[in-house]
Structure 1
């Protein structure tokens, strides 16, 4: 039986080989992986040099060399930021856009070919999601979003589907006290989405009424990110938003089938209280006062 460290190192070697990390011509396009990744970041809308450097984890010297090589090829243009001379921004040239599109097509084809190697496609994707979440844990960001946005709707759809699987009686959102979107935007409340490298992996809503009392709604964390502290981060962000809005009392409800949720609330300062609504699904009720 291989020990854990040996298994991790085997995985690292397999990924390094599969993605061509050591190739001098990544994906056969004539430049190494580092330059290709910078081009990819710019193509996906990451324009400021500092943001690209932070996103890819590059030091200033290497970043400068990679940008210079892409400029020499005529793939990007770098200019001084309009409002801050200390900052620089990048954009793709027409040639750079064609090269970016070529990388995208090859990468998508490579991903489809990889998935075709295994008969358990969903299990393979779930394993990859878990690994990516663990590796990218420190890069997961929280931001306020419109609860009607695509990212929010994705999270809510996944949340409702999970409740339907885990509740004995199933779950129908039409029977639940589903909050109105206008109650989860400022100045009444907020909706917070967690993003991991462009993909939504969690959410939480703060449903307000304009007064001192509000509710926490729709806390969801993607299965692949559980155990990394994201649920607690989302709750802390929602509580901080409540304080900013002058809310002094928060309530929430949950179902005992969601044991991890109840544990989170009990260990983060929430107190169990009697039922405060007629929603048919929850059987546990909590409150926190500031």
Structure 2
């Protein structure tokens, strides 16, 4: 089955696109990102950021993934910094395929000065604002970061037996095993054949190539499906990702000619109960005898391209 990515996303309006581009132009100019001497030091922003990210030492492979950099571009920057005496490149004896990068004493001094200048620049900007304005700005920045992070996450339809699908389910099981007073038995997880092809669907959420969430849909009977295992990694919670996964599952249910979706949840998962109610799910009597269920919900779907509560 071919991956289907974010089928429910609405196209951005020209005004929205223009607003984001306008902000990008202002912000990059305001912080000096366009200057080859970022923060007044003798290097562009790319090299300065690379020095900052190295920290106590890291592999080039990890840096490439963390910063989403082209391998050739990263290698050239690393060699330039090495030539300047700011970093040291080594090959660990246990894995000759890796290249490690660490700061030299001169590199650590450079990063300390970079941090001092960045703090001073930021303090200068914030110092022109009143305390309430600073609070407003920092809250707006937190919202911006959250939404930009959510925008960068993709949700893809995968085979229920795929490695990422089973990996997410293992993480889900470990998470709720720690939360449920009675623990959790992994034999309760959906089987691959229940959530693949004509019988159901399985979605995995990816952030920078890493699986960070999942959700499953399986058919209970003609016209009725069940949503299972909606899960988001703790580091990606409070972004709105669980609702996005839920929407994908509802769209998949419509595509499978299901007009009703049901689900159950444990009493301790109060945040899940609140989300389901907010998304149009109505609490119903128990539709199945499930050892981990304390609340049961249902939602009626309609339309070939969307869903609504009934």
Report the TM-score, using the length of structure 1 for normalisation.
Answer: 0.57
Match of 1:288 among 273, 276, 299: 299
Match of 2:269 among 246, 258, 279: 258
Corresponding residue number in structure 1 for 2:28: none
Report the Cα distance in structure 2 between the residues aligned to 1:210 and 1:280, rounded to whole angstroms.
21
* SS of residue in 1 equivalent to 2:175: helix
1:226 matched to 2:250? The reply is no
What's the CA shift for 1:224? Answer: 1.1
Corresponding residue number in structure 2 for 1:184: 195
Maintained 8 Å contact 1:133/1:224? no
What's the CA shift for 1:154? Answer: 1.6
Unaligned runs of 5+ in 1: 1-11, 44-68, 70-101, 111-131
Please give the per-residue CA displacement for 1:108-166, whole angstroms capped at 9, x wherever unaligned.
x78xxxxxxxxxxxxxxxxxxxxx97763211000001122121122111110111111
Runs of 4+ in 1 over 4 A off after TM superposition: 24-27, 132-135
Report the TM-score, using the length of structure 2 for normalisation.
Answer: 0.53
Corresponding residue number in structure 2 for 1:267: 278
Maintained 8 Å contact 1:134/1:225? no
Please give the per-residue CA displacement for 1:177-213, whole angstroms capped at 9, x wherever unaligned.
x322112112221000000001011100011257211
Pairs within 5 Å for 1:27-66: 38-40=69-71
1:166 matched to 2:179? The reply is yes
Change (3 A) 1:280 1:42: farther
Maintained 8 Å contact 1:187/1:210? no
Maintained 8 Å contact 1:188/1:209? no
Higher relative contact order (CA 8 A, sep 6+): 2
1:150 matched to 2:125? The reply is no
Please give the per-residue CA displacement for 1:220-245, whole angstroms capped at 9, x wherever unaligned.
01111111100000000100111111
Change (3 A) 1:134 1:269: closer
Corresponding residue number in structure 2 for 1:202: 213
Equivalenced residues, count: 191
Report the Cα distance in structure 2 between the residues aligned to 1:228 and 1:186, rounded to whole angstroms.
29
CA RMSD across the alignment: 3.9
Report the Cα distance in structure 2 between the residues aligned to 1:263 and 1:279, rounded to whole angstroms.
20
Maintained 8 Å contact 1:133/1:196? no
Change (3 A) 1:41 1:234: farther
Report the Cα distance in structure 2 between the residues aligned to 1:232 and 1:41, rounded to whole angstroms.
38
* SS of residue in 2 equivalent to 1:183: helix
